[in-house]
Amino acid sequence: MSASRTGHAPRVLVTGATGNTGRPIASRLAELGFAVRTAARGDRPADSTTEHVRFDWADPSSHEEALSGVDRMYLIAPAMVEDPSVLMLPFIERAVEHGVRRVVLLSSSAVPEGAPGLGTVHRALRERAPEWAVLQPSWFMQNFADERHHHGAGLKHDGVLVTATGEGRVGFVDARDIAEVAVRALADERSHDTAHVITGPQALSYGDIAAVLSQVTGRPMRHVQVDGEAVVQHMMGAGIPERYARLLAGLEESIRQGTDARVADTVSRVTGRPPRSFEDFARAHASFWK
């Protein structure tokens, strides 16, 4: 590990540290000997012993403390914000001025570089950050096993997945594999300076997901195919703001058209280990749906 400006182990700021990727990234970097500072709106993750700051993207007064003495950082956008670049771009400018060298951004395979929102942040990193990587994962397997997510809630309570994706397939990925790619991008001596498209090992339709869950749990689960307007209403009923629900419905239409039906070798190439399959994920989380 190369030393930071101060001659010590590099300090890494991990935003979204209570979430699916931030939590495993923070604990792995701490194991590797980095000085880790976790950041989220609430308290530190229960199992964490690293330094923690309260950080809210929407509250710039919380940003200074988060950035002080930081060499590298992992960025997750604020949740359910249609255009997170408005909050993220000034923060990145400020970070670079503070001497942050390396920035790893969690974006999405559905958002190309330069597109509105996270695509604009992606481009800013390429142009402004001395060292950078952008993670472009497919859809997370964790969406199906989290009661706060409309898919997880629908499956747990009613045994249904409601989408406008039709028969379209997706390279669903386990967030732990995204975290392992992120750890390499943050920890490797040499910065990756690239975008990583990250998928699981297979492209599956939502109908395939329901079939795997039925088989693993012994409980009948099904995919209910609806149109774009009906899926917006369904998401709003689950508490998603209308503008964000419309953005998600647009992404479901892209899935229906086949845009997400790809698999990439990134997890194996970057981590040296194959990505986890959905069947393995379903077995590991089976108690959630039973």
The residue from 121, 125, 161, 175 that contacts ligand NAP (CB under 6 A) is 175
Q: Are the beta carbons of 177 and 184 closer than 8 angstroms? A: no
Helix (H, G, I), strand (E, B) or coil at 36: strand
Partnered with residue 109 across adjacent β-strands are none
Nearest CB to ligand NAP, comparing residues 78 and 159: 78
Nearest CB to ligand NAP, comparing residues 4 and 183: 183
Nearest CB to ligand NAP, comparing residues 137 and 207: 137
Q: Are the beta carbons of 119 and 107 closer than 8 angstroms? A: yes
Query: Site residues for ligand NAP, window 155-174 (CB under 6 A)?
Result: none
Stretch that binds ligand NAP, among 16-24, 151-159, 255-263, 278-286 (CB under 6 A): 16-24
Closest CA to 160 of 250, 99, 226: 226
Closest CA to 285 of 218, 237, 213, 230: 213
Determine, following the binding rule CB under 6 A, whether residue 21 of this chain makes contact with ligand NAP.
yes
The residue from 32, 41, 89, 236 that contacts ligand NAP (CB under 6 A) is 41
The pair of three-digit structure tokens given for residue 93, joined into one six-digit string: 């400018």
Closest CA to 56 of 95, 88, 101: 88
The pair of three-digit structure tokens given for residue 152, joined into one six-digit string: 């997880």
Query: Site residues for ligand NAP, window 117-156 (CB under 6 A)?
Result: 137, 139-140, 142-143
The residue from 36, 106, 145, 187 that contacts ligand NAP (CB under 6 A) is 106
Residues in contact with ligand NAP by the rule CB under 6 A: 15-22, 40-42, 55-58, 76-79, 106, 108, 137, 139-140, 142-143, 175
